[in-house]
Structure 1
Amino acid sequence: MTDFVLVAGAWLGAWAWDGVVPRLSAAGHGAHPLTLSGLADKQGVSAGQQTHVRDIVDEVERLDLRNVVLVGHSYSGIPAGQAAERIGDRLSHVVFVDSDVPADGESFASNWWQGQEKFEASIAGNGGFWAPLTAADCEGQGLTDEQVARLVGGSTPHPGASLTEPAVLTRPLGELPATYIKCLLDGPEPTDGVARLLTGGNWRLVEMNTGHWPMFSQPDELARILLAAAENQPRASVPPRPGEGAR
């Protein structure tokens, strides 16, 4: 049995995986969605990036999980990538879902497309938080109106310190056994940093024909890819079944 530890990206909590967890459980595996400190039902808890790394490590150790497939989506690829090296032989595989990846000494804000200073200024202007999602942010991401409403309605302000605090890595990230899922509606190519990691022998790329939140838009397909990662077998992308995105 594999134990999946599922960590959603910025603004989201464990609830974001509600469409995926039953599919993993039905296949006979453990599924453990995690809310990071300061988000969702843990709002009000002070949190930096290293807090989020500890959240993940502590959950794995508290539940005494083994054969762990650690899944980090979007922002959470940064703390998940750091936590992966810290859980040692408990780790089986890491899956980065359309995510950022950690680089030693760099933060999420370091590579913000409008520049780090502008991003940090927007956080400072919002009381130290990254403002939650709006419906406009979800346009063109393969989501139904119902899915957008759920995603936006459940989003909470994201602690700014977790976005500006630098990552700490003790070994090259490319040494981890990893799958990177690229969601094509959010951009056709991985970042340069991810592309370099994919040139090694330990990472593989899987593409999904959907947007940045596949746990909402294509939960069946995402679950199939995660299950394939648990088997440690490369898997070609398969188009979603008709109507899946509407469920």
Structure 2
Amino acid sequence: MVPYLTATGHGVHPLTLSGLAEKQGMPARQQTHVQDIVGAVEGQDLRDVVLVGHSYSGIPVGQAAERIGDRLARVVFVDASVPADGEPFVSAWPDGGLMMRASIAENGGFWPVAPAAHYKAHGLNDEQIARIVAGSTPHPGATLTEPAALERPLGDLPATYIKCTLGDPEPSDDVAKLLTSEQWRLNEMDTGHWPMFSQPRELAQILLDIAAK
């Protein structure tokens, strides 16, 4: 994504959250991830920020968005979970997160890396799937089971939700409710859950259009 965004002159600041990838071994709870994001924005004195989160990272990104105050231009959720005050990431799962909690307990406090088969039917080719799997690391379980903490309603934030419609065309109920806010907008992409791999140019253009408004 970075080359497509920087080519138009935008500053781009990818962030690895604590306990993942090159930051494996660092202790991480959900508020650690929120502070990772807030610290990156404030530490670099970033302004007019379009804050983007995909999948799980929508949970800390949504919390961080309201904590950076007037530095925020817009928050973008890319086929992401959205935080609800007092609720953990796992609460939105069909069984209330029982299977995920059990998996975390069985794997030393981490959510294990998904196998290649998990990524089928998402508009990805074999090379893209192999790249995702090769770069994946176990996810710190506490970030998934601890509740979010919001200081004000998420619907008050200027936000765009990018829904990837392949195999799952409708937003979840919590997102659909947020989209009734005058502050929220919806974009759709005809691809699966990993558009930064399956349609990077298209996703970049959506982000550039958001930043231009």
Q: What's the TM-score once normalised by structure 1's chain length?
A: 0.85
Cα deviation, residue 115, structure 1: 2.8
- Distance between the aligned counterparts of 2:97 and 2:122, measured in 1? 25
- Distance between the aligned counterparts of 1:189 and 1:126, measured in 2? 32
- Distance between the aligned counterparts of 1:114 and 1:145, measured in 2? 31
Could you report, residue by residue, the CA deviation over 1:67-108 in whole angstroms, capped at 9, with x for unpaired residues? 100000000000000000000000000000000000000000
2:145 corresponds in structure 1 to: 164
1:133 aligns with 2:114: yes
Given that 1:186 and 1:212 are in contact with CA atoms closer than 8 Å, whether structure 2 keeps it comes out as no
- Distance between the aligned counterparts of 2:179 and 2:167, measured in 1? 19
- Distance between the aligned counterparts of 2:114 and 2:75, measured in 1? 26
The correspondence for 1:107, drawn from 88, 95, 99, is 88
1:214 aligns with 2:195: yes
Quick one: which amino acid aligns to residue 140 of structure 1? A
Runs of 4+ aligned residues of structure 1 deviating over 3 Å after TM superposition are: none
Quick one: which amino acid aligns to residue 95 of structure 1? V
Quick one: which amino acid aligns to residue 161 of structure 1? A
2:126 corresponds in structure 1 to: 145
Could you tell me which runs of 5 or more consecutive residues in structure 1 were left unpaired when the two chains were aligned: 1-19, 233-247
Cα deviation, residue 186, structure 1: 4.6
**What SS does the corresponding residue of 2:170 show, helix, strand or coil?**
coil
- Distance between the aligned counterparts of 1:167 and 1:159, measured in 2? 15
Quick one: which amino acid aligns to residue 30 of structure 1? G
User: Counterparts in 2 of 1:222-241, with a 5 A limit?
Assistant: 222-232=203-213
2:74 corresponds in structure 1 to: 93
How many pairs does the alignment contain? Answer: 213
Q: Percent identity?
A: 69
**What SS does the corresponding residue of 2:12 show, helix, strand or coil?**
strand
Could you tell me which runs of 5 or more consecutive residues in structure 2 were left unpaired when the two chains were aligned: none
Quick one: which amino acid aligns to residue 175 of structure 2? V
1:76 aligns with 2:61: no
**What SS does the corresponding residue of 1:205 show, helix, strand or coil?**
strand
- Distance between the aligned counterparts of 1:209 and 1:220, measured in 2? 13
- Distance between the aligned counterparts of 1:171 and 1:148, measured in 2? 38
2:10 corresponds in structure 1 to: 29
Cα deviation, residue 114, structure 1: 3.1
- Distance between the aligned counterparts of 2:49 and 2:181, measured in 1? 22
The correspondence for 1:173, drawn from 123, 137, 154, is 154
- Distance between the aligned counterparts of 1:214 and 1:137, measured in 2? 15
2:179 corresponds in structure 1 to: 198
Could you report, residue by residue, the CA deviation over 1:26-65 in whole angstroms, capped at 9, with x for unpaired residues? 0110000000000000000110110000000000011110
Q: What's the TM-score once normalised by structure 2's chain length?
A: 0.98
Quick one: which amino acid aligns to residue 151 of structure 2? T
Quick one: which amino acid aligns to residue 183 of structure 1? C
- Distance between the aligned counterparts of 2:140 and 2:69, measured in 1? 28
**What SS does the corresponding residue of 2:13 show, helix, strand or coil?**
strand
Could you report, residue by residue, the CA deviation over 1:185-233 in whole angstroms, capped at 9, with x for unpaired residues? 151111100000001101011000001010000000000000111123x
The correspondence for 1:45, drawn from 26, 29, 38, is 26
- Distance between the aligned counterparts of 1:119 and 1:148, measured in 2? 22
